[in-house]
């Protein structure tokens, strides 16, 4: 487990960027998440940036501000994607984080010329994503969904032994603000023998955490669980949109296909594993459950294998926008409920010799908690479409309607430590073509 506490985590640190010191910002100096951005509408090249308060540090504008390893890492981070920085590994990431922390601290010379207001920026997908794998790490989600379709055996016997995942589609991953058309495909009603073709009618969101791979591995050489986080650059918010009616017809026997690959939306900000070091959580497994096989076990798993990250979902309908009503929260959960850890996902993905590359993205799967209000999808909140969800303005939803905008947020904090956040990931459903 590579990330340890150091001077960058000091809760007393403040910044000369005053908006970072509010106590309510997602981006205090203890966070420093990475993105790829440019000035809104400028046509400038995209380049790497780091959030501080309500500003973005333009890494390309820092020039020769740093020395040694930090200077080398800065040049990698200033490129049009973060892949080269991701591939450089933990020593480079830590050197750049330390240099940025010292550069931005109160008492250091203020250099506002290297800042761009987040309100005046537009963001790109932060890396060239070569491959995308979506996992199924919430036992609460797996059990809840299983009860809808297999009440006699809601949780299949392999779930507690092996991290379940499927291969997604990297080409349709977009950054927050993504608008997408309602997907079209084959569905079949329970009463009919032949499928119908047309727009999806059971469109859903999935509240997830994205995991960006840093240093890859050579094909044929597995990454050990105890060293797996040295291959993880950081975490982001992820919404894996799902067409439930298409999924129900196509998923047997090989799993999701067109029901999942039409759109996936991620937040622009990647919070590094090092930034999250003070906010680790114990990883828990019921004593009656099978314990991890040796290749999925490691010394730090049970004491700090998890992440204490609060996650919430809000909905904004067309009517709410028209009436000036703010988005309404419909669920809240926490990443610590995950049945499998981030390190276990990386180790399992490579145990057969599969090669991961810098910029590859892993999805955690829907993050639902043990309580009904912690469900990470409408499929669960509506009991499979049988119970409508009533919003504060009186509107009801079973699944998403055209014009609905989903916003997801994440944050973490503890007594005596600053709150750090993940920004937000938002996307809106447009009518089918």
409 is in an annotated binding site: no
Is 134 assigned to a binding site? yes
**136 assigned to a ligand binding site:** yes
Residue 396's SS3 state is strand
For residue 231, indicate whether it is catalytic: no
Close Cβ partners of 62 (under 8 Å, ≥ 6 residues apart): 74, 78, 103, 114
The helix (run of H) or strand (run of E) holding residue 38 is strand 34-39
Instruction: Give the side-chain half-sphere CA count within 13 A for 259.
Output: 23
Q: What is the rounded distance in angstroms from the CA atom of residue 296 to the CA atom of residue 226?
A: 9
Distance CA 26, CA 193 (A): 51
Classify 28 as helix, strand or coil.
coil
Query: How many other β-carbons are positioned within 10 Å of the β-carbon of residue 422?
Result: 28
The values of phi and psi at residue 168, to 5°, are -95, -165
Identify the DSSP state of 174: E
Beta strands in 40-169 (DSSP E): 47-52, 55-58, 115-117, 121-124, 132-135, 165-167
Does 128 belong to an annotated binding site?
no
Known binding residue 166? Answer is: no
- Would the annotation count 251 as a binding residue? yes
Residue 284 marked in a binding site = no
8-state DSSP, 325: P
Residue 160 marked in a binding site? no
What does the block give as tokens for 117? 């207001």
Is 150 annotated to bind a ligand? Reply is yes
Q: Which of 140, 141, 337, 349 is catalytic?
A: 141
412 among the known binding-site residues?
no
Residue 49: beta bridge partners? 35, 58
CA dist., res. 397 & res. 405, Å (int): 13
d(CA 332, CA 310): 7
Q: Determine whether the annotation assigns residue 240 to a binding site.
A: yes
Q: So which residues are the catalytic ones?
A: 141
Residues at the binding site for Mg(2+) are 240, 260, 264
Positions at the binding site for Ca(2+)? 134, 206, 208, 240
Residues annotated within a binding site for substrate: 136, 150, 247, 251, 366
Binding site residues, as ranges?
134, 136, 150, 206, 208, 240, 247, 251, 260, 264, 366
């Amino acid at each position: 487990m590579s990330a340890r506490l150091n001077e960058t985590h000091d809760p007393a640190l403040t910044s000369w960027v005053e908006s970072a010191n509010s106590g309510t910002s997602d981006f205090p100096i203890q966070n420093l998440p990475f993105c790829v951005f440019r000035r809104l509408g400028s046509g400038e090249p995209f380049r790497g940036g780091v959030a501080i308060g309500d500003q973005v540090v333009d890494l390309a504008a820092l020039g020769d501000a740093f020395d040694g390893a930090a200077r080398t890492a800065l040049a990698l981070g200033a490129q049009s994607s973060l892949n080269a920085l991701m591939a450089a590994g933990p020593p480079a990431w830590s050197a750049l984080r330390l240099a940025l922390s010292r550069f931005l601290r109160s008492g250091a010379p203020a250099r506002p010329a290297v800042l761009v207001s987040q309100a005046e920026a537009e963001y790109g997908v932060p890396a060239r994503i070569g491959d995308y794998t979506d996992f199924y790490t919430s036992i609460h989600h797996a059990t809840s969904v299983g009860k809808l379709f297999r009440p006699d055996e809601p949780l299949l016997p392999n779930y507690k032994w092996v991290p379940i995942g499927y291969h997604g589609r990297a080409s349709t991953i977009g950054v927050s603000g993504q608008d997408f058309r309602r997907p079209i495909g084959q569905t079949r009603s329970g009463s009919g023998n032949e499928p119908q073709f047309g727009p999806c009618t059971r469109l859903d969101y999935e509240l997830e955490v994205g995991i960006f791979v840093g240093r890859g591995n050579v094909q044929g050489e597995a990454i050990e669980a105890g060293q797996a986080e040295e291959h993880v650059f950081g975490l982001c918010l992820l919404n894996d949109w799902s067409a439930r009616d298409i999924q129900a017809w196509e998923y047997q026997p090989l799993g999701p296909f067109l029901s999942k690959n039409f759109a996936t939306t991620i937040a622009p900000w990647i919070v590094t594993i090092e930034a999250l070091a003070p906010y680790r959580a114990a990883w828990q497994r019921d004593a009656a459950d099978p314990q991890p096989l040796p290749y999925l076990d490691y010394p730090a798993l049970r004491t700090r294998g998890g992440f204490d990250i609060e996650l919430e979902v809000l909905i904004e309908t067309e009517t709410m926008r028209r009436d000036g009503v703010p988005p309404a929260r419909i669920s809240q959960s926490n990443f610590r409920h995950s049945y499998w850890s981030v390190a276990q996902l990386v180790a399992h993905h490579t145990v057969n010799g599969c090669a991961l590359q810098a910029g590859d993205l892993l999805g955690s799967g829907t993050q639902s908690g043990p309580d009904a209000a912690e469900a990470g999808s409408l499929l669960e909140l509506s009991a499979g479409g049988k119970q409508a969800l009533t919003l504060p303005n009186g509107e009801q939803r079973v699944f998403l309607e055209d014009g609905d905008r989903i916003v997801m947020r994440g944050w973490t904090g503890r007594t005596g430590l600053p709150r750090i956040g993940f920004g937000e990931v938002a996307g809106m459903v447009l009518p089918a073509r």
